Amino acid sequence: MPHLLLVDDEEALRSVVAERLRDTGYEVTEAADGEAAVKALDGFAFDVIVSDLRLPGVDGREVIETALTRYPGIVAIVVTGYGTVKDAVDMTKMGVADFIAKPFQFDELMHVLNSALEQRRLQSENAYLHQQLDERFGLGAMTGKSAPMRSLFQLIETVAPSAATILITGETGTGKEMVARAIHQTSPRHRGRFVAINVSAIPETLLDAELFGHVRGAFTGAVAMRQGRLEQADGGTLFLDEVGTMPMALQMKMLRVLQEREFERLGDTRTIKVDVRIVAATNADLSKMVKEGSFREDLYYRLNVIPVHLAPLRERVEDIPLLVQTFIKKFAGERDITVAQDAMRRLMAYAWPGNVRQLENAIERAIAMSGSRTQVDVGDLPVDLQGTGESTAKPALDLPAEGLDLHALVAQIEKDMIGRALTRTEQNKGAAARLLGLKRTTLVEKLKRL
């Protein structure tokens, strides 16, 4: 039950409110003045403080300031009959969750309390998730504030508690294994093992034994029984990287694992039950492979229960400065290094075919090339980046000798930019309009015309 400190010098009001709060499930401690409130705060960490602003002796402002200074996680709510707009603004800046004017309805107080506690709970859970991401398994390379990254963090938080199979898609270097580890570490299976296998890196003749294990004598060289990756991941998560390269024969066996949660080791007839979550990843178009007959349709649907797509770095350019800072901290050690604005422009103008992994390598090289200097310059960047940077300042278009239709070209560029803005803002027209420097009504009219 939440522990609440109620501070008010009006005894009749305080007693009634305290009694009703207790009826709704709160543990309530009453204080008739500021000194009693500060004394109560000295000896106990309350979840919530509800205080009048004007109190005899120590005033409510000092009580609230003491509470927030001592317990940054406390929810503070001010109730007063003499408050001004300036008081409300000042208290909000201090960290007060809400400001209620007397006289008030008890239902109003309950609504404010419930909203404030729910907001604090969500903030706490979000902070915990990001701590998990940043500290427990090095999700620094997934740093970002762009719409795709915000959606990804929210999706990880949503799907991690379930046992559903997940298919992660995205270009090479976007961090698919990192996302798989994030899902595992924030799931109830985090005490189990996270076992990863790159399907494309193991020869087809060895992949069966690597995944499912084998018994002694199963094939030449099998001198002892060996557990496969699937059995090693029992109680945890099995990550199948580049699952699109899995041979057809093994696709059927993996389908059975997903359906029945059982398998046999190579050369054995004994069935082994496993409790394992499968997270697969690929940079290939599995739906296209299904149509071409190179990937089983039933396995595809079993793997694609929860699809997670990772946006390429070129579609979240605003994340590049944050990523650069992350990699500088990683590779620069104790050195205090910054990136020159000209170099940053080139980093942000580059297409990054290798995505985050390529950016990480580029920053590592730049720091090494900077020597003892405290700033990374253009000359420290890889050669193929040094020519970029001005591409955003002028159009990279040629004027054909036969001429062109300028109106049609401008219309196509406008249509393309509007489409990109809507994609980046997840179809939010107001946000897209701000990206394009337009009024929302102007954008809506352009969409109608298009």
Amino acid code (one letter) for 447: L
Hey, what are 42's tokens?
A: 């000295």
Higher pLDDT pick, 357 / 145: 357
Residues of the chain with CATH 1.10.8.60: 314-386
Share of residues in the chain with pLDDT > 90 (%): 42
Four-point Cα dihedral 199, 205, 211, 215, nearest 10: -170
Residues of the chain with CATH 3.40.50.2300: 3-122
Q: What is the largest CA-CA distance in the chain?
A: 89
Fold of the domain built from segment(s) 314-386: Helicase, Ruva Protein; domain 3 (1.10.8)
Res 226 pLDDT > 60 = yes
With CA atoms as reference, report the closest residue to 13 among 82, 105, 108: 105
Mean pLDDT confidence for 203-230: 85
Mean pLDDT confidence for 131-154: 67
Q: How confident is the model at residue 217, as a pLDDT?
A: 80
Mean pLDDT confidence for 75-89: 75
Per the document, the length of the chain is: 450
Mean pLDDT confidence for 60-72: 88
Q: How confident is the model at residue 119, as a pLDDT?
A: 80
**Tell me: the pLDDT tens digits for 155-195?**
998 999 999 999 999 999 999 999 999 999 889 999 899 99
Distance CA 259, CA 174 (A): 30
Q: Is 384 exposed, middle or buried (0-12, 13-18, 19+ CB in 10 A)?
A: exposed
- What pTM value is reported for the model? 0.58
Mean pLDDT confidence for 368-392: 80
Q: Which residue has tokens 């009219």? A: 445
Beta strands 277-282; 271-273: pairing state: unpaired
Res 95 pLDDT > 50 = yes
Mean pLDDT confidence for 292-311: 95
The CATH superfamily of 3-122 is Response regulator (3.40.50.2300)
Contact 169, 280 (CB under 8 A): no
Give the pLDDT band (50/70/90) at residue 128: low
Hey, what are 72's tokens?
A: 């940054």
Residues of the chain with CATH 1.10.10: 406-449
Residues of the chain with CATH 3.40.50.300: 139-309
Contact 157, 129 (CB under 8 A): yes
Res 311 pLDDT > 60 = yes
Mean pLDDT confidence for 417-427: 83
Q: Which CATH class is domain 406-449?
A: mainly alpha
Q: What is the mean pLDDT of the chain?
A: 86
Angle between helices 429-436 and 440-449 (to 10 degrees): 100
Res 89 pLDDT > 80 = no
Q: How confident is the model at residue 390, as a pLDDT?
A: 46
Question: CA-CA distances (angstroms) from residue 387 to 323, 347, 363, 383, 412?
Answer: 21, 10, 16, 7, 27
Res 271 pLDDT > 60 = yes
Q: What is the 3-state secondary structure (H, E, C) of the chain?
A: CCEEEEECCCHHHHHHHHHHHHHCCCEEEEECCHHHHHHHHHHCCCCEEEEECCCCCCCHHHHHHHHHHHCCCCEEEEEECCCCHHHHHHHHHHCCCEEEECCCCHHHHHHHHHHHHHHHHHHHHHHHHHHHHHHHCCHHHHCCCCHHHHHHHHHHHHHCCCCCCEEEECCCCCCHHHHHHHHHHCCCCCCCCEEEEEHHHCCHHHHHHHHHCECCCCCCCCCCCECCHHHHCCCCEEEEECHHHCCHHHHHHHHHHHHHCEEECECCCCEEECCCEEEEEECCCHHHHHHHCCCCHHHHHHHCCEEEECCCHHHCHHHHHHHHHHHHHHHHCCCCCEECHHHHHHHHHCCCCCHHHHHHHHHHHHHHHCCCCCEECHHHCCHHHHCCCCCCCCCCCCCCCCCCCHHHHHHHHHHHHHHHHHHHCCCCHHHHHHHHCCCHHHHHHHHHHC
Higher pLDDT pick, 424 / 370: 370
Q: How confident is the model at residue 248, as a pLDDT?
A: 93
Hey, what are 270's tokens?
A: 């004994």
Sign of the torsion formed by the C-alpha atoms of 361, 362, 363 and 369: positive
Q: Is 260 exposed, middle or buried (0-12, 13-18, 19+ CB in 10 A)?
A: exposed
Fold of the domain built from segment(s) 139-309: Rossmann fold (3.40.50)
Lowest mean pLDDT among 23-32, 89-98, 368-377: 89-98
Q: How confident is the model at residue 129, as a pLDDT?
A: 57
348: Cβ–Cβ under 8 A, 6 or more apart, which residues? 317, 320, 321, 392
First-to-final CA distance of the chain: 56
Hey, what are 164's tokens?
A: 């559903």
Res 346 pLDDT > 50 = yes
With CA atoms as reference, report the closest residue to 123 among 73, 76, 198: 73
Mean pLDDT confidence for 325-343: 87
